[in-house]
Amino acid sequence: MQDLQPVAGGITAPRGFVAAGVHAGLKKDKLDLALIVSEVPATAAAVYTRNRVKAAPLLVTAEHLKSGGARAIVANSGNANACTGERGYRDAREMAAVTAAAVGCEPWQVVVASTGVIGVPLPMDKITAGIEAAAAGLAVEGGGDAAAAILTTDTRIKEIAVQLPLGGATVTIAGIAKGSGMIHPNMGTMLCFLTTDVAIEPEDLKQALRTVVDRTFNMVTIDGDTSTNDMAVILANGCADNAPLTIEEHAVFRNGLEYVCRYLARLIARDGEGASKLITVEVHGAATEMAARQVARAVAGSNLVKSAIFGADANWGRIICAAGYSGAEIDPEKIDIYLASRAGREAMTAGGEPLPFSEEKAAAILKEDEITIILDLNQGAAAATAWGCDLTYDYVKINASYRT
């Protein structure tokens, strides 16, 4: 990771990409339609929600990406176009057709995404006008507006771009994401759009994305809910003109992609609905990476752990309990638990048994806005990290009136 250089520009930082974000009228007064376009055909790959109920835009996108390529991504917020029957499919296909006509490509080269309220038909007059306005405003400088236009209950834009040497060239990897509620492993309510100017074979791109998503976005949990529209999509247009990647360089690319997705995953967790604290769960000493992931996700997703963190209560019993029901083969008599933040680090248990600890110091650690829970299983060398947030009163308030 040492050769990674953060750069400005967001989703359009890689060569050959332009974007725009406009107000189409799906929301009262915020940007709500994004368009991202590669100026040349791009290799494409995607990972989708595992919810059996899948929105029409996701199904249309999956059909389109069977080709392994794409030129454009169109995404609206404010309306999920989910559970809208045959009309929903027609509307998603029309979004692709209108986008294709506006940017000069084929409909099957368009990724379609929507996010927002479920069960409401799209106002296609507004969508069409919005796509045409976005196409007219496409620019290298449009990445920030595109990042803003995909947000729902998010409170902040989530974007990043990095450069690294690869295949005799300098390549750029960039991404934007949205996600604040209904977040859980297996791609729960989030959209992530990634761009890169690296030249890479379709199967290699697909494998890299799947591996990285499992280590990043599928390690984020806000509230245990997984929605209907979620996807992570990457376009690689080859404009960096790099030489074919070696096996070692594929690993370098994957590391760069993981850095981008990890950064975005952490932002999603930090921006959880109503959240006041970011929770990072580090699991070390696991027998396998899968076991480490299971434990990390269980602890990060425990409502009792999240509530204790909100109340700055060092109730480590909830942590070891979550580890125990995670499904991983663990030995509770070997587990060490620590709490850490900018305020310090405090050991809670050693070998599964309680340690005398300072309640005052533990409370000070938990009052910080970023807390790390560390579990050493002492069973092997594998590790994993998960991210989540505390559970606050505001989460209930937000979701009690989501449609209004």
Which residues are catalytically annotated? 189
Per DSSP, the residues of 232-271 read EEEEE--TT-PPPPPHHHHHHHHHHHHHHHHHHHHHHHHT
Mapped onto helix, strand or coil, the DSSP state of residue 19 is strand
- Residue 372 pairs in a beta bridge with 280, 340
Quick check: 195 and 36 in contact, CB under 8 A? yes
Q: What are phi and psi of 99, to 5 degrees?
A: -65, -45
Cα 307 from chain centre? 23
Nearest to 129 by CA among 248, 5, 23, 234: 23
Cα 15 from chain centre? 23
Q: Which residues lie below 8 Å from residue 142, measured CB to CB, with a gap of 6+? A: 12, 18, 19, 20, 21
User: How many whole angstroms separate alpha carbon 9 and alpha carbon 160?
Assistant: 8
Give me the residue label for tokens 């450069």: 163
